[in-house]
Amino acid sequence: MTAGIHVVRHARARRMRLAVDPRDGKVRLTLPPRASLKKALAWAEEQSGWIASQQARLPGSLPLAPGACFPLAGRDIAIDHQPAAPRVPRLESERLVCGGPREGLERRVERWLRGEALRVLSAETAEYAVRAGVIVTRVSIGDPRGRWGSCAASGAIRYSWRLILAPEHVRRATVAHEVAHRIHMNHSPAFHRLVETLFEADPAPARQWLRRNGAALHWVGRPAPPSEAGADRP
């Protein structure tokens, strides 16, 4: 079990801490600067039962395979593999029709999702930028683990492509949040007022939804989880 642990020494750590990331199941052991690595790994080994108990709480992987259902803007979409259909996936009501060979299907579906995310997020960013009277120099997507969006001083905004999997109000609240950073590069009361003005609603429920359900979005398209699982143990 210890072979799968990522060890981090932190200057401000005062005690050993074992954490299991609910987004990918990886185990992280944080140590004070002078702590004994041998003793820390032995302690982590003693926690194998706790790690196993946390594994059952993980959302579980959701491969983008034929017949699987994945969330898309609050809807459940089924992957309908039809080899004779065009290779480029096509959304038809509650189905994503995917042609071509079985091999590489998961990559084609994820590529389609990323393209859809960039298209939708670019349009919504432009919409909110007009409302705010600001310029966004570039919109891009990635797959970060720690944040759903980021805004640079240059005016570039980058999002997690996985936002396209979340309900529409969650996605749009995140876009309003990042566009508001074009005026306030902080989280001051003025910033939060602007987010609410742009979003035209209270964004708190969207933030709460991400806190409760965001980890599950990181398992969409992921392979089966490792033996470790997700939580935090002091």
Residue type, 50: W
Q: From CA 168, how far away is CA 9, in angstroms rounded?
A: 40
Could you identify the residue written with the tokens 């120099």? 137
pLDDT digits (tens, 9 = 90+) for 48-84: 887 767 656 777 788 999 999 999 998 999 999 999 9
132: pLDDT strictly greater than 90: yes
User: How many of the other CB atoms lie within 10 Å of CB of 218?
Assistant: 21
Predicted pLDDT of residue 229: 39
Say if residue 2's pLDDT is above 80.
no
DSSP 166: S
pLDDT band at 1 (very low <50, low <70, confident <90, very high): very low
* For range 89-96, the mean pLDDT: 96
Mean pLDDT, to the nearest integer, of 79-107? 96
pLDDT in tens, 34-49: 888 888 888 888 888 8
pLDDT: which is higher, 149 or 31: 149
Point out which residues pair with 77 in neighbouring strands: 70
Residue with tokens 């290779």: 87
Q: How confident is the model at residue 227 (pLDDT cuts 50, 70, 90)?
A: very low
Cα–Cα distance, 28 to 160 (Å, whole number): 23
pTM of the model: 0.78
Report the percent of the chain where pLDDT is more than 70: 90
